[in-house]
Amino acid sequence: MATKDLKKEVELALAEVGKITPWFDKKFNAWIFSSELYPIECEGNSAEEVIKKYPKYLEVFIEHRMLGKLDDLNEKKTKGKGGARPNAGRPIGSKKEPSVQIRVPTDIAVWLKQPGIIPNLRNLMQTYKRI
């Protein structure tokens, strides 16, 4: 794995996390920091120690993620497609004919789905309008 890519990913992750502000937890008698964006926590004897250690913890987590060594439980489940994807959707400049959904009996729906029926039906409608 390229360390250049890893360093770039760590810098991006640290920018997403923002300022590292640890808090003191009386239950564990330690300074702790965690972010909702990444499933890792860092603890230490002082706030400065946590601020120094968190980027290293984050780097190890991202390295494991890039190598595919993470368990499914550690990965955050999201809904959706993950944003815009290249070449997804209708090509630029193509036009789709406007349509509307209606309910018709099954036998008519089967007849309408046959190839070439819609243009013939339009011709029939045009003929009917002229009469």
64: left (phi over 0), alpha (psi -120 to 50) or beta: alpha
pLDDT (0 to 100) of residue 93: 83
pLDDT tens column, 1-35: 567 788 898 999 999 999 999 999 999 999 999 99
Whether residue 60 is contained in a domain is answered as yes
In a domain, 98, yes or no: no
User: Does the residue 105 lie in any domain?
Assistant: no
Report, as an integer, the average pLDDT of 66-92. Answer: 71
* Inside any domain, residue 115: no
The DSSP bridge partners found for residue 23 are 32
Mean pLDDT score of the chain = 86
* Domain enclosing residue 68, as ranges: 3-74
Establish if 112 belongs to a structural domain: no
pTM score of the predicted model: 0.53
Task: Please state the domain count of the chain.
Answer: 1
Let me know if residue 17 belongs to a domain.
yes
In a domain, 12, yes or no: yes
Residue 62 domain-assigned? Answer: yes
